[in-house]
Amino acid sequence: MNGLFRDRRDLSFEQGTGFHGGPSARRKGYKLALWSWLASFIDALILVAVSCVFMLMFSMIVKTPVGALMQHLFHSQNQLTFFAEVFVMFAWVYMITVRSVMGSTIGEWACDLRLGQPHERLQISYIFRVALRSSLILVTGIVTLPLLSLLAGKDLAGALSGLRLFSLK
């Protein structure tokens, strides 16, 4: 039986999570906050692009030109407010869903940022902490808490929610 796997002894099945080597060389403080802003910008671009695709699909379903639909949308303040509320709710659901499944949003993944350590992602409380962190950021107006984090040089949303943002580089 020992001879069966003799040729496979030198294989390494270590998964490259990027958390090896300790935190000394990783981005911290202001650098981490700036990379978090870049990740948020990428996520905002993705959300705008998905909104445009849904707007285009909606105009095709109701057989209305996109220009007329956009003109009707921006015609009154109430409709624009409703569109903004739907956009923010979609952003909240996107943040919680993608972070719960992947450990980071697409923007955070592109910037090599992750929420929590790998062992934390396997806990049931991870999803609730992701929801709390995302809700705190949205409730404070999307810009306020990240701006305070940038000025303080540390992850305030992570300190409040118990789910810190980590850099893989």
18 inside domain: no
Mean pLDDT by 10 residues, the chain (169 residues): 60 48 65 91 96 93 90 86 91 95 94 92 94 94 89 91 92
Report the run of H or E that residue 67 belongs to, with start and end.
helix 66-73
Provide the pLDDT for residue 108.
95
10 inside domain: no
Per DSSP, the three-state class of 113 is strand
Neighbours of 98 (CB within 10 A): 19
| Alpha-carbon 2 to chain mean position | 46
Between vectors from CA 162 to CA 94 and to CA 105, what angle results, nearest 5°? 25
155 inside domain: yes
Provide the pLDDT for residue 7.
61
Residue 112 is part of which domain span? 27-167
The answer to whether the CB of 60 falls within 8 A of the CB of 99 is: no
124 inside domain: yes
**Residue in this structure with the two tokens 């285009």, named with its chain if needed:** 56
Provide the pLDDT for residue 163.
93
Cα(111)–Cα(107) distance, integer angstroms: 6
Helix, strand, coil: what percent of the chain each, to 5?
Answer: 70, 5, 30
16 inside domain: no
Radius of gyration for the alpha carbons in the chain, expressed in angstroms and rounded:
21
Residue type, 21: G
Provide the pLDDT for residue 62.
92
86 inside domain: yes
For the chain, how many structural domains are there in total? 1
Neighbours of 84 (CB within 10 A): 10
Residue 38 structure tokens: 């870049």
Provide the pLDDT for residue 115.
92
154 inside domain: yes
The answer to whether the CB of 98 falls within 8 A of the CB of 109 is: no
pTM: 0.79
